[in-house]
Amino acid sequence: MGTVDESVLSHRAITLLADLIKRRSVTPKDAGCQDVLMQRLAAIGFECEQMPFADVSNFWARRGTSGPVLCFAGHTDVVPPGALDDWSSDPFEPVVRDDVIYGRGSADMKSGLAAMIVALEDFVAENPDHDGSLAMLITSDEEGRARDGTLKVMEALTRRNEQIDWCVIGEPSSEKQLGDIVRIGRRGSLSAVLTVNGIQGHVAYPQLADNPIRRFAPLLAQLHEVEWDQGNEYFPPTSFQVVSVEAGVGAPNVTPAELKARFNFRYSTEWEHNGLEKKVQEIFDAHDIDYELDWHLSGKPFLTKPGRLTDAVSRAVQEQTGSAPKLSTGGGTSDGRFIAPAGVDVVELGPVNASIHKIDEHVRIEDVLSLATMYQRIMELLLAGRERGNSKRQ
């Protein structure tokens, strides 16, 4: 044990976090994490509903029947620990050194879950008759294929017209210190496989062949020069990247009949995906080229515009840390992409992400407690009733 105050280690958020780390919930296993969470929620008046799909454990829990609905979302699964010998201690045995707790999932995202549960308990104790409803949506497959997790639960909720208004995801959004970054959206991802058709021939008789490499080269240059957009207040400019180009028959004296290329757009809310597809097609059609494009949309962009949720989250962070968070759309994917399309305002606020998915993953103990305070404050600002939410701690 290091410099941390022993009393902090017995805090409910820390003992819950330690319990969760001990459970080897490598995707899609849940290893009993969700039972622990549901027991805690049931004890404070939540209706808990297990929603397993295939080998994935999920649950939806709700306290209250009216709107608005404030939902906390996240995942109990963790990525594999990698080489155990590289860890300073057993990744599934929580260990405290100095002011930090180590273990797989400590930052991504079992500390977020522990902070949520404790915040919900404290909020409900103080506000048993809160406005609207509180909810929790948890999956054990965020780090994997993510097909039978949040996506399926959202489909089930939508089918029965159960609406979420605001969602806070406990993913590790922070970069240098807790609360410096709150994620409010993400870019869309649109991929294509291109086939350029030509006529195979002898390299010495190009007039008798049609070389698809030669046809594609100027187009490729042009695609890189296009300014797709300048981004906007919340998104960086749309980016176009070629990830592969393949052509050739393996002989030095033969030009090929076909070229295949793959490319990807990470695009902002300035575009709809079919608009981008159309623009690319126009560029191709201006060239004398025989081609096919096969598109694949892996995620539409989403953005939670400034409003009650972002205001509440920013204020909760500022009260706790002294500075307002940067609202960002950077980073990779999260299950927010499955929740936002149902018309839900989604933000991600969680611990520092510097060690996630790495050897010796860890989280600052103080950050877990501060995060719980922030989550509780968000509930107060949104559901405690106008007077209480606005008058407290001013």
Residue 326, phi then psi, degrees to nearest 5: -85, 130
Gap between the Cα atoms of 38 and 45, Å rounded = 11
Indicate the residue among 109 and 168 with the shorter CB distance to Zn ion: 109
Stretch that binds Zn ion, among 167-175, 227-235, 241-249, 277-285 (CB under 5 A): 167-175
Minimum distance from CB of 126 to Zn ion (Å)?
29
Q: Give the residue nearest to Zn ion (CB).
A: 108
- Give me the numbers of helices (H) and strands (E) for the chain, helices first please: 11, 19
Subset of residues 2 to 61 that bind Zn ion, contact rule: CB under 5 A: none
- Considering CB under 5 A, how many residues would be counted as binding Zn ion? 3
- Which among 183, 164, 224 is positioned nearest to 325, based on CA atoms? 183
Output the six-digit token pair for 73.
């979302």
Is residue 280 at the binding interface for Zn ion, with CB under 5 A as the rule? no
Indicate the residue among 304 and 353 with the shorter CB distance to Zn ion: 353
Stretch that binds Zn ion, among 59-67, 92-100, 166-174, 187-195 (CB under 5 A): 166-174
Catalytic residue from among 30, 141, 142, 210: 142
Minimum distance from CB of 369 to Zn ion (Å)?
20
| Residue 126 annotated in active site | no
Is residue 335 at the binding interface for Zn ion, with CB under 5 A as the rule? no
Indicate the residue among 106 and 255 with the shorter CB distance to Zn ion: 106
Indicate the residue among 325 and 336 with the shorter CB distance to Zn ion: 336
Indicate the residue among 100 and 109 with the shorter CB distance to Zn ion: 109
The alpha carbon torsion through 138, 141, 143, 145 (nearest 10 deg) reads -140
Subset of residues 84 to 123 that bind Zn ion, contact rule: CB under 5 A: 108-109
Three-class SS of residue 115? helix
The alpha carbon torsion through 89, 93, 97, 103 (nearest 10 deg) reads 80
Alpha helix stretches (DSSP H) within 300-384: 308-321, 336-339, 365-383
Indicate the residue among 78 and 209 with the shorter CB distance to Zn ion: 78
Minimum distance from CB of 362 to Zn ion (Å)?
15
| Residue 180 annotated in active site | no
Gap between the Cα atoms of 21 and 110, Å rounded = 7
> 393: alpha, beta or left, given left = phi > 0 and alpha = psi -120 to 50?
left
Residue 113, phi then psi, degrees to nearest 5: -65, -45
Question: In this structure, which amino acid lies at residue 300?
Answer: K
Output the six-digit token pair for 237.
């400019």
The helix or strand, by DSSP H or E, that contains position 276, with its residue range, turns out to be helix 273-285
Largest pairwise CA distance in the chain: 84
Indicate the residue among 104 and 187 with the shorter CB distance to Zn ion: 104
Minimum distance from CB of 142 to Zn ion (Å)?
6
- What secondary structure letter does DSSP report for 44? T
Catalytic residue from among 77, 121, 348, 367: 77
Stretch that binds Zn ion, among 41-49, 165-173, 198-206, 283-291 (CB under 5 A): 165-173
Stretch that binds Zn ion, among 58-66, 114-122, 164-172, 235-243 (CB under 5 A): 164-172
Minimum distance from CB of 13 to Zn ion (Å)?
18
The helix or strand, by DSSP H or E, that contains position 214, with its residue range, turns out to be helix 212-225
Provide the binding-site residues for Zn ion, judged by CB under 5 A. Answer: 108-109, 171
Residues labelled as active-site residues: 77, 142
